[in-house]
C-alpha cells in the first residue's frame, strides 16, 4: 500500500494490492480525477490519458482564453457549479454578496500513516498505522479565503477507500454551505447497472437494480434518519456481474441522517456519483474561523462480484467501524418479550419467561417497551425513564438483579430521542421538542421528537439514562427510534441557523451514544428504529448490532437479511425466532426454518417459551446449543450469498471460518416443487485441497473442490414449503481420497 505524489506531473496515486486511485492537479490548479479501479503499476504521466475533449464542443466553456480545458467534460474530485460544469455539484458555498461561484485550487498536501478521527462523527479507524495511509489535499478559494481539505484513506488489506471533505472559513466574512457532499467519484464509463437497497417498514433493504441511464438517478432520505425506504448504500455493477464474478463499484455513507446518493450520467458518458448529507433542508453558516466536517463515505471496488464487494464491507465495518469490547465477541443469545407480551406484563410474568429461557440456555433477557412511566400503550410515558412500579414493584434495579441471580444478563429497551405529550418530561419541558411555534405538530405514534440539536436536551436525557444504567445491572440496551422527523425547527436557534437542525440532531444522537459508552464501556448497544429504519454504518459505529426488521417471518427475513448482507456484516444483523402464525404476515413456518434463518444473524428469540409444547422446547434447547457451539463461525465467518430468495422458490447462503477449516451452509426451500430435480448446492470459499466431513448429510466426506465445482447434494430432499437444511462442514484430518457417496 502506498500514496505517491509525482511532483513533476502533479499526480497522486493511492494504491494497494487490489486497487488504484489516481488524481491530478489540473492546469487551472483544481483537483481532477484520472482513474479508480483495479490496481495499476505506479508510473507518472497518466494525465495524458485523461478525458481531454477532442473535436468540436460547441457549448464548451473553457477555463481561460486559449485553453481547451472544459470543466463540463473533465472529471473532477470535488466539483463546483457556476464556471462551466453543468452537472450537479459536490458543494455550494454562498458568499456574502450572494454568489456561489468559487475556484478551489491546490495549495499543498500531506500524506501520513494511519487515519485520524473525524470530529463528532463516526468513521472507520485503524488500530495500527500499517493498516492504512491517508492523503489530505488542501485547496483554497482565493477570493473568499475559504479552505477545503479533501481526505482520502486507503486501507492496506481491503479494496476500500474512505473519503470526506472539510471546509474551513479562513476568510474574513461569513459564508454559508448550501450543499457539502462527502465525496464525488466518476465511473470509468456508462456501462453499469445501479443497485440500491430499498423498501419500507417490514420489508427493508430489498436489492433493486436498474440500468444506468442518461440523467440523474438518486436515492435518499429526508425523514431525519437514514430510513426504511432507502439505505445509504449504492453500487454500480457491470451488466454481467453476479454474486461471484464481475466488476462492482460500491459506495456507502457513514451517516444516520438525511442523505442523498446519486449518479448523473451525461450524454458524453461521464458518470458522476455523489454521496453525502441531503442538501434539502441543509444550510450551514460558517463564521470566520469555523469549520464544517462532512460525514465519511467509503468506496469499494471488487472484481469478485457482489460477494467480493460485500466481504470487503463486512471486514471494514465489522472490524474497523464497530468499536468496543463487543466488536469481536460472541453475542449473547437473547429472549426479548415484545412479540409475546407487548405492553401487558408484570414482574411475575417476566420472571416466569426468564426462568424457562434460562433452562433452555438463553443468556440474556431483554425487557422491551412498556416498563416505565405511565406506559401501558404507545400513548404515554416516553421520556419518563423510571420504572412503572405497578408492573415492576422492585424497579429495574430489582428486576435486573433477580434476572442476574438466575445466571442471565439483563437488557432493557429505551427510546431516548422521543417523548409522549402524556409524560412528565413533556409537561415539564414542552419546548424541548422539534416544532415550529404557532404551528401544529404532525402526529406519528402519539409521540414527539426531542430536539437533540440542543446540547442541554441531550445532556438531560444523558442524565436520566446514566442514572438508569448506574442503578441497575444492565448489560444490553436496545435503543429504539419510532418516528420520522417533521416540523424540524429548533426554537433556540436563529432563523439562519435552522438549516443546521437535521444534521445537529444526528450529531446529538452520536454524542449521547458516545458518552454513555464511555461511562459504561461493557454495555452492548443494539440500535433499532421501528425495526430497520436506521440500519446504517453511522449507528453501527456505536451499536455493533441492529434490530434488522420487525418482520420476523422466516421467508420475509430471508429477503431482508439477504439484502442487508450486501453492505453489513452478519454480526450486525439481529435476528430472532418468533411465534407462528407470524404477527406481520400470518405465515406458518417450521420452528427449524425460523431458527436456521435467524442463525445467520445475531441469534435470539421473541416468543413465549411457556406457550410451547415440550417437544418445541427441546428443539429450541438443541438450536441454542448448536448456536453456542458455532457462534464464532456464524457471526464472524466469511459470508457468502449463494442463491437469492428473490430469484424463485429457494435461497442459500453459507459462512466459512478464516482458516477455511469449518463452514456452515444453509439451503431454504421456499416453495416446494413436486418431482423436482436432485438438488446440489455449489459451495464457496472452501479449501479445494482439503476434504470436509459434512454433518447434516450423514457424515459424508467430500473434497473441497468437488463441493465447490460439483456441489453438495441437498439431502434429505425438501418435502414441503418453507423447509430448510443446514450443513456443518469441517475439514477431515487427512485430505484426499476418502470421498464416498
Q: Which residues bind ligand DGJ (CB under 6 A)?
A: 338, 368-369, 413, 480, 482, 528, 530-531, 547, 550
Q: Whose Cβ is closer to ligand DGJ: residue 319's or residue 534's?
A: 534
Identify any residues that bridge with 606 across adjacent strands, giving them in sequence order. Answer: 578
Shortest Å, Cβ 396 to ligand DGJ: 16
Shortest Å, Cβ 590 to ligand DGJ: 23
Handedness of CA 429, 435, 456, 446 (dihedral sign): positive
Helical pair 395-405 and 455-471, crossing angle rounded to 10 deg: 50
Identify any residues that bridge with 293 across adjacent strands, giving them in sequence order. Answer: 166
**Alpha carbon distance 289, 287 (integer Å):** 6
Q: Whose Cβ is closer to ligand DGJ: residue 295's or residue 531's?
A: 531
Quick one: DSSP state of residue 520? -
Residue 442 buriedness (CB in 10 A; 0-12 / 13-18 / 19+): exposed
Shortest Å, Cβ 338 to ligand DGJ: 5
Shortest Å, Cβ 476 to ligand DGJ: 13
Cβ–Cβ under 8 Å, residues 107 and 100: no
Residues 6 or more apart from 500 whose CB is under 8 A from it?
283, 284, 285, 453, 493
Which of 591, 594, 526 shows the shortest CA–CA distance to 558? 594
Residues 6 or more apart from 29 whose CB is under 8 A from it?
103, 105, 106
* Residue 689 is among the residues annotated as catalytic for this protein: no
Q: Which residue of the set 369, 422, 536, 550 is catalytic?
A: 550
612-623 core/surface letters (b: 16 or more CB in 10 A; e: else) = beeeeeebbeeb
Q: Whose Cβ is closer to ligand DGJ: residue 530's or residue 592's?
A: 530
Q: Whose Cβ is closer to ligand DGJ: residue 109's or residue 203's?
A: 203
Could you give phi then psi for residue 119, rounded to 5 degrees? -60, 115
**Alpha carbon distance 702, 691 (integer Å):** 5
Shortest Å, Cβ 330 to ligand DGJ: 22
207-235 core/surface letters (b: 16 or more CB in 10 A; e: else) = beeeebeeeebbbbbbbbbbbbbbbbbbb
Q: Whose Cβ is closer to ligand DGJ: residue 5's or residue 343's?
A: 343
Q: Whose Cβ is closer to ligand DGJ: residue 155's or residue 345's?
A: 345
Q: Whose Cβ is closer to ligand DGJ: residue 23's or residue 228's?
A: 228
Question: Per-residue DSSP letters for 40-65?
Answer: ----S-GGGGS----S--TT--BSST
* Residue 697 is among the residues annotated as catalytic for this protein: no
Residue 314 grid coordinates: 463486512
**Alpha carbon distance 455, 62 (integer Å):** 48
**Alpha carbon distance 218, 222 (integer Å):** 13
Cβ–Cβ under 8 Å, residues 693 and 661: no
Shortest Å, Cβ 378 to ligand DGJ: 6
Q: Whose Cβ is closer to ligand DGJ: residue 94's or residue 368's?
A: 368
Q: Whose Cβ is closer to ligand DGJ: residue 368's or residue 635's?
A: 368
Shortest Å, Cβ 546 to ligand DGJ: 10
**Alpha carbon distance 444, 441 (integer Å):** 9
Shortest Å, Cβ 548 to ligand DGJ: 10
Residue 436 region, left (φ>0) first, then alpha (ψ -120 to 50), else beta? beta
Shortest Å, Cβ 709 to ligand DGJ: 42
Q: Which residue of the set 480, 536, 551, 553 is catalytic?
A: 480
Q: Catalytic amino acids?
A: 480, 550
Amino acid at each position: 500500500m502506498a500514496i505517491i505524489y509525482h511532483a513533476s506531473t502533479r499526480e497522486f496515486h493511492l494504491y494497494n494490492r487490489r486497487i488504484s486511485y489516481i488524481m491530478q492537479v489540473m492546469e487551472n490548479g483544481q483537483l481532477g480525477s484520472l482513474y479508480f479501479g483495479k490496481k495499476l503499476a505506479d508510473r507518472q504521466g497518466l494525465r495524458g490519458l485523461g478525458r481531454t475533449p477532442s473535436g468540436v464542443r460547441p457549448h464548451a466553456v473553457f477555463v481561460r482564453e486559449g485553453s481547451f480545458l472544459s470543466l463540463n467534460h473533465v472529471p473532477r474530485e470535488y466539483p463546483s457549479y457556476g464556471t462551466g460544469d453543468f452537472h450537479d455539484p459536490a458543494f455550494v458555498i454562498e458568499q456574502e454578496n450572494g454568489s456561489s461561484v468559487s475556484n478551489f485550487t491546490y495549495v499543498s498536501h500531506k500524506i501520513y500513516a494511519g487515519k485520524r478521527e473525524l470530529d463528532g462523527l463516526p468513521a472507520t479507524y485503524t488500530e495500527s498505522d500499517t493498516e492504512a495511509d491517508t492523503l489530505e489535499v488542501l485547496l483554497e478559494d482565493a477570493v473568499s479565503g475559504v479552505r477545503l481539505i479533501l481526505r482520502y484513506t486507503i486501507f492496506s488489506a481491503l479494496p476500500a477507500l474512505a473519503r470526506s471533505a472539510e471546509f474551513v472559513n479562513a476568510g474574513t466574512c461569513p459564508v454559508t454551505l448550501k450543499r457539502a457532499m462527502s465525496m464525488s467519484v466518476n465511473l470509468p464509463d456508462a456501462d453499469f447497472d445501479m443497485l440500491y437497497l430499498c423498501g419500507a417498514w417490514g420489508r427493508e433493504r430489498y436489492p433493486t437494480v436498474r440500468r444506468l441511464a442518461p440523467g440523474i438517478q438518486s436515492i435518499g432520505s429526508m425523514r431525519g434518519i437514514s430510513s426504511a425506504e432507502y439505505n445509504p448504500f449504492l453500487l454500480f455493477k457491470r451488466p454481467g456481474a453476479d454474486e461471484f464474478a464481475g466488476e462492482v463499484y460500491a459506495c456507502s455513507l457513514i451517516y444516520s441522517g438525511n442523505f442523498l446518493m446519486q449518479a448523473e450520467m451525461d450524454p458524453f458518458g461521464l458518470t458522476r456519483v455523489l454521496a453525502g448529507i441531503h442538501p434539502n433542508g441543509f444550510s450551514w453558516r460558517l463564521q470566520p474561523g469555523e469549520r464544517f466536517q462532512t460525514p465519511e463515505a467509503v468506496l469499494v471496488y471488487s472484481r469478485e462480484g457482489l460477494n467480493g464487494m460485500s466481504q470487503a464491507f463486512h471486514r471494514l465495518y465489522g472490524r474497523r467501524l464497530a468499536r468496543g469490547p463487543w466488536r469481536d465477541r460472541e453475542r449473547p443469545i437473547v429472549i426479548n418479550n415484545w412479540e409475546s407480551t407487548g405492553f401487558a406484563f408484570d414482574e411475575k410474568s417476566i420472571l416466569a419467561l426468564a426462568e424457562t429461557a434460562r433452562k433452555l440456555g438463553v443468556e440474556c433477557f431483554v425487557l422491551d417497551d412498556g416498563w416505565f412511566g405511565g406506559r401501558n400503550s404507545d400513548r404515554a410515558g416516553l421520556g419518563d425513564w423510571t420504572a412503572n412500579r405497578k408492573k415492576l414493584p422492585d424497579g429495574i434495579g430489582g428486576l435486573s438483579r433477580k434476572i442476574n441471580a438466575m445466571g442471565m444478563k439483563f437488557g432493557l429497551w429505551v427510546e431516548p430521542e422521543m417523548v409522549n405529550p402524556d409524560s412528565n418530561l413533556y409537561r415539564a419541558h414542552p419546548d424541548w421538542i422539534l416544532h415550529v411555534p404557532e404551528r401544529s405538530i404532525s402526529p406519528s405514534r402519539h409521540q414527539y421528537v426531542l430536539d437533540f440539536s440542543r446540547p442541554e436536551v441531550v445532556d438531560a436525557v444523558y442524565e436520566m439514562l446514566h442514572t438508569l444504567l448506574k442503578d441497575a445491572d444492565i448489560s444490553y440496551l436496545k435503543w429504539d427510534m419510532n418516528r420520522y422527523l417533521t416540523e424540524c425547527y429548533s426554537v433556540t436557534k436563529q432563523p439562519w441557523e435552522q438549516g443546521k437542525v437535521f444534521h445537529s440532531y444526528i450529531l446529538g444522537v452520536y454524542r449521547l451514544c458516545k458518552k454513555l459508552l464511555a461511562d459504561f464501556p461493557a454495555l452492548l448497544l443494539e440500535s433499532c428504529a421501528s425495526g430497520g429504519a436506521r440500519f446504517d454504518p453511522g449507528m453501527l459505529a456505536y451499536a455493533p448490532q441492529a434490530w434488522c426488521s420487525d418482520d420476523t417471518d422466516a421467508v420475509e427475513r430471508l429477503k431482508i437479511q439477504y439484502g442487508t448482507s450486501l453492505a453489513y456484516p452478519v454480526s450486525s444483523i439481529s435476528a430472532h425466532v418468533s411465534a407462528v402464525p407470524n404477527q406481520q404476515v400470518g405465515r406458518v413456518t417450521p420452528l427449524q426454518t425460523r431458527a436456521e434463518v435467524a442463525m445467520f444473524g445475531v441469534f435470539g428469540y421473541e416468543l413465549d417459551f411457556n406457550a410451547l409444547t415440550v417437544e418445541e422446547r427441546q428443539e429450541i434447547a438443541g438450536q441454542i446449543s448448536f448456536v453456542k457451539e458455532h457462534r464464532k463461525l456464524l457471526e464472524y465467518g466469511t459470508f457468502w450469498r449463494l442463491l437469492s430468495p428473490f430469484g424463485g422458490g429457494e435461497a442459500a447462503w453459507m459462512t466459512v471460518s478464516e482458516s477455511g477449516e469449518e463452514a456452515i451452509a444453509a439451503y431454504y426451500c421456499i416453495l416446494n416443487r413436486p418431482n423436482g430435480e436432485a438438488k446440489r448446492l455449489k459451495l464457496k470459499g472452501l479449501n479445494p485441497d482439503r476434504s470436509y466431513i459434512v454433518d447434516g448429510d450423514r457424515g459424508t466426506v467430500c473434497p473441497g473442490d468437488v463441493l465447490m465445482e460439483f456441489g453438495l447434494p441437498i439431502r434429505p430432499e425438501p418435502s414441503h414449503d418453507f423447509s430448510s437444511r443446514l450443513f456443518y462442514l469441517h475439514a477431515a484430518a487427512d485430505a484426499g481420497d476418502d470421498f464416498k457417496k
